[in-house]
Structure 1
Amino acid sequence: MRYPRYRHGTFALMDGVAHPVSYTVGADHVQLLTGVRAEPVPVELCERVISVQVYASYRGHGVFVDAMDETGKARIMEAEWDEEWATINGFVHENRYEYFKTVDVLDLRDYYEKQTDLLFLRWRARHFARPVEGQPLTGGWANGSPAVIDGRPRSGLVRLEDGRTTEVTTRAEYLGYPCEVAGISADGSVGLYYLGQDMARAEADGFQLTVDFRWAKTVHIYDLARYQEHHADLYFEEWRSAQELTRG
């Protein structure tokens, strides 16, 4: 059986309902792909516009879930650029760097959606000026707690429009490596936690080790790229376990 909450593509959230849409970053309108509304919809009427990709782990390794059919088969792509592991585990080399395999969806673990925020650049330009050289950053940490501007960033447990509960962390790239966005202050200061593996590089780029042993740094919001939310799907494991019991 197909996981009923599986989805991918571009969606606009309007009045609490997610609609499949086509959208070009920077455009003023989205175009619904269903028959709900024929004319383009101004992005100002959208609560969010996101690009959704699904990832999971398979045999302890990160994979991209490219497709899923009604029989419960998932087409997955190796997502850690490990050619040797992919070959050993039965993936087929289809493109230059891409290895694919079809597996039972019940063999997947740690299912999550990567929701890229397609309105981030518009939101950033509306709320923040570009940094002024020499002006100090106050930090994206309001009184020791994460600061939030107009709903960004989000963290913790979030109930999605389809009823799922997900555990959310907001992420972005800084100097080309992944970071968690802990808070955003009104002056554009952003509190970051380093998520990469090279701790020496983190220290060289100005991150400092905190009392809870995380590498942290304050940067400006215009230093960020690929702003996204990581939604760990708490319902998937419950569904997967129930399906396994049904199979006996």
Structure 2
Amino acid sequence: MTYPLYRTGTIAVVDGVAHRVSYAVGDNYVHFPQVRDARPAPFPRQELAGPVPVEMCERVFSVQVYAAYRDHRVMVDAAYDNGTARVLEAEWDHEWATINGFVQENSYEYYKTVDMRDLRDYAERQNDLLFTRWRAARFARPVEGITPHGGWPNGQAAVVSGRPRSGVLETEGGRVAEVSTRAEYLGSSCEVAGITLDGSVGVRYLGSDFERAEADGFRQDADGRWSKTVHIFDLARYHEVHRDLLFDQWRESRDSLAR
């Protein structure tokens, strides 16, 4: 039996329910699977089919699943009914991949089929496909010479229309995950701590090259983390990381059945 919450592809959430869809970033319509005799949108939610206005969707995102296998990061490319998964070595360490039984399928990619019970730190990367649309509708582009000063929670949550999200959340389909929001700033991966209405964003550097962080304007805060306030139009690849809090329960239940 495979992990029942495994998924990949493009997902739209409508009324708290997740649907598999197709969507091109910037398009005005999300394309749901066609059903026979479907009526044109808008129509009752349970009959979603064909092109649907993107405004009807609470979220639209693409999903990639990552985990740790033998203390090494892998992408879970597919999951099978027999409880195994096809994984891609995701740290570009080809020597490690070869030693650990991965098979090279092209110049850069090494794959292996593993027991899902051997995976740890199972998490979804949810790429926010509506972020640029949402940003353009709510914020003005930065004005040269004006430095952003907001973006950090200061007695109130620095959240604009539901972004960013963080903490332990119960999401669609009964999923429970520890969520953090991330984006790239000047090519570096950062955690998005908060967003304020003036377009200021508080970000924390997630890399290990602290000389680069300092050169890019990050400064250590009271907690020793490298932080900076930037403008929302300076961010790229905005996404959420959902560390699945139910996967270990499933894995342990599978282990007990195997004994």
Deviations 1:123-148 (A, max 9, x none): 00011010000112112114266500
- Return the match for 2:195 from 170, 174, 184: 184
Match of 1:46 in 2: 57
Pairing 1:158-177 to 2, within 5 Å after superposition: 158-177=169-188
User: How much has 1:21 moved relative to structure 2?
Assistant: 0.2
Contact kept in structure 2, 1:167 and 1:233, CA below 8 Å: yes
Match of 2:151 in 1: 140
**Residue identity in the other structure for 1:33:** P
**Residue identity in the other structure for 1:23:** Y
Match of 1:56 in 2: 67
**Residue identity in the other structure for 1:207:** F
- Return the match for 1:231 from 216, 238, 242: 242
Match of 2:81 in 1: 70
Contact kept in structure 1, 2:33 and 2:50, CA below 8 Å: no
Deviations 1:212-240 (A, max 9, x none): 11110111000100000000000000110
User: How much has 1:160 moved relative to structure 2?
Assistant: 1.3
The unaligned stretches of length 5 or more in structure 2 are 36-46
Match of 1:131 in 2: 142
Match of 1:12 in 2: 12
Deviations 1:89-141 (A, max 9, x none): 11111122111000001000000000000000000001101000011211211
**1:154 counterpart SS class:** coil
Q: Distance in 1 between matches of 2:209 and 2:104?
A: 29
**Residue identity in the other structure for 2:29:** H
**2:233 counterpart SS class:** helix
Deviations 1:18-72 (A, max 9, x none): 0000100000001112644333110000000000110000000100000011001
Pairing 1:110-129 to 2, within 5 Å after superposition: 110-129=121-140
The CA RMSD measured in Å over matched residues stands at 1.1
**Residue identity in the other structure for 1:234:** L
TM-score normalised according to structure 2 size: 0.93
The unaligned stretches of length 5 or more in structure 1 are none
Q: Distance in 1 between matches of 2:34 and 2:61?
A: 17
User: How much has 1:211 moved relative to structure 2?
Assistant: 1.2
Q: Distance in 1 between matches of 2:200 and 2:48?
A: 39
Q: Distance in 1 between matches of 2:131 and 2:114?
A: 35
**Residue identity in the other structure for 1:45:** M
Query: How many residues end up aligned between the 2 structures?
Result: 248
Cα gap change, 1:38/1:164 in structure 2, threshold over 3 Å: closer, same or farther?
Answer: closer
1:32 is aligned to 2:20: no
- Give the fraction of aligned pairs with identical amino acids, expressed as a percent: 63
Match of 2:120 in 1: 109
